[in-house]
Structure 1
């Protein structure tokens, strides 16, 4: 044991440092693993629907299903499940809302909730552990304890801020791409395609413009092929995106299917409204840019201009006035 301590550069009496180093190492490994599996599982729901509808490679689907089960039942799955129980919502309604937030951010895996909570717990432990490791040889004071508490809170709420940013970015991209998708839907419907084939065709065409919206169209098509009700599939799409414009679109399609009204006319009216809203969003962002430029102008550009313009004059004044006041 002493030899191990000497290899690590520690004394045999300073076991606290070794414990903290091990804690930091385990926390970092859990964090990296949680982030990796959370990002790699973002698109698992479309793959499962593809297996249900018989799409894709028949040999690859069982293999991917077995790999998903192996990840969930392995050591990492057990560790993340245990860590998530510490901060998991106790009520089913809270878990459902958290699940919806993750889906709206693009994390479709059924393990996303567990991995997300595990990441929050790991970060809440990692930040104070790193700070403690850095100040290992100093006495713990109330100030350092307060800093560690603040770091723990920051690590716990940092994934929430990141998730909110991802959700807003994804929803904004869907809103900006929706008018083009509606125009394509009008063209497909007027060409004689059914609503199911229209969704598939528009999903193919929107793949280059906005992959998130394209995936949502594919999800609706696959759910319908798997035997789900069309109205339920429309509701699921509105639930997954959390975009009011998508909810309005799904309501329009549901009403046209129920009452037999013209789908093309309804889509054209909604597309015009969406184009107006997209132009309003662009005008709003352009108006905000002037306010956003105030801080860099005042802090960086204006002082530089003042130095360039008034600098030579100030130097001349100093050269003339300083000798005069000094009596020389």
Structure 2
């Protein structure tokens, strides 16, 4: 490596590190200023992580949380993380504190690993490799928390989706027993927590909102929009219509169940078709050569022996 290129790489690394430190400092200062302003304007509505010192959290944890919220404000200006946290079921203060702390400490951990690589690794072109790993670590510090959160939200959405058919059958039985919508939902929360663990948690929170004065239809609509599970949104839509206009509810629920089952049947057929195509590729790559050896091997060996006898 020429001295000019080496000096350029060193200067670029120092410049990028300086810019990164300045950006993190600006974000932390701005986040702290916004949190102080929110506490002054609406102390009772301060967000998670803004009043950690008041909750008895350690200053180190509070600083990591503020750093995580600052990073989130930079990579997520539209507030997608709040919706994903609710979809993942991480609604509690402790869970959100752990999430923000993880998001704040990850860049520091990756930077420490990068420094360890620079100090102890014995590779050629160490500076170039370190710069490339630095860019990769910077990208991962922003992208990895988003991947983890989206994966957790998608996994919980699949679990909720798997509980929807059982929810429909239980609601049908409860409505046939003469219960109203609110009574049926309360009975599901009270008695069906073991069979509907994910939906039961969400219904419990929704019933608390209804008891606090929210309208049943609005609460169902908001919950459906937050969870973003199509099958569950369909059921909540049926419940909202019945709650608003009245009428028979058993037939709409059963019709919705038929639509959901048809949709799942089509999804399963699509998965089976994809799986059969993949298995065809696997068979061609692995099974077909072994089959050719098994079928054509004896004939090929016999031909080799015959040719050997002729030559002999």
Q: TM-score, normalised by structure 1?
A: 0.64
**Residue 225 (str. 1) matches residue 215 (str. 2):** no
In the alignment, what sits opposite 1:103? 86
* Equivalent of 2:62 in 78, 89, 100: 78
CA distance in 2, matches of 1:316, 1:155: 63
Q: CA deviation at 1:180?
A: 1.9
In the alignment, what sits opposite 2:279? 293
* Equivalent of 1:130 in 110, 113, 120: 113
In the alignment, what sits opposite 1:145? 131
* Pairs within 5 Å for 1:75-224: 75=59, 77-89=61-73, 94-95=78-79, 97-110=80-93, 115-135=98-118, 136-138=120-122, 140-203=126-189, 206-224=192-210
**Are the structure 2 counterparts of residues 92 and 158 from structure 1 closer, same or farther at C-alpha, using a change threshold of 3 Å?**
closer
* Equivalent of 2:261 in 270, 275, 279: 275
CA distance in 2, matches of 1:71, 1:320: 89
- Contact conserved, 2:165 with 2:257, CA < 8 A, in 1? yes
Q: CA deviation at 1:122?
A: 2.9
- Contact conserved, 1:224 with 1:230, CA < 8 A, in 2? yes
- Contact conserved, 1:203 with 1:215, CA < 8 A, in 2? yes
Q: Secondary structure at the match of 1:213?
A: helix
Q: CA deviation at 1:100?
A: 0.5
Q: CA deviation at 1:198?
A: 0.8
Q: CA deviation at 1:181?
A: 0.8
CA distance in 1, matches of 2:134, 2:303: 53
* Pairs within 5 Å for 1:15-34: none
* Pairs within 5 Å for 1:234-245: 234-245=220-231
Extract unaligned runs of 5+ from structure 2.
Answer: 1-51
Q: How many residues align?
A: 258
**Are the structure 2 counterparts of residues 75 and 313 from structure 1 closer, same or farther at C-alpha, using a change threshold of 3 Å?**
farther
- Contact conserved, 2:161 with 2:229, CA < 8 A, in 1? yes
Deviations 1:153-203 (A, max 9, x none): 134312222322222222222223212211211111111112122113334
CA distance in 2, matches of 1:242, 1:218: 18
CA distance in 1, matches of 2:191, 2:295: 55
**Are the structure 2 counterparts of residues 307 and 82 from structure 1 closer, same or farther at C-alpha, using a change threshold of 3 Å?**
farther
- Contact conserved, 1:182 with 1:267, CA < 8 A, in 2? yes
In the alignment, what sits opposite 2:235? 249
Q: TM-score, normalised by structure 2?
A: 0.67
Extract unaligned runs of 5+ from structure 1.
Answer: 1-67
CA distance in 1, matches of 2:185, 2:99: 31
- Contact conserved, 1:120 with 1:157, CA < 8 A, in 2? no
Deviations 1:85-137 (A, max 9, x none): 44122699623x21001111221124655543442343334335324424525
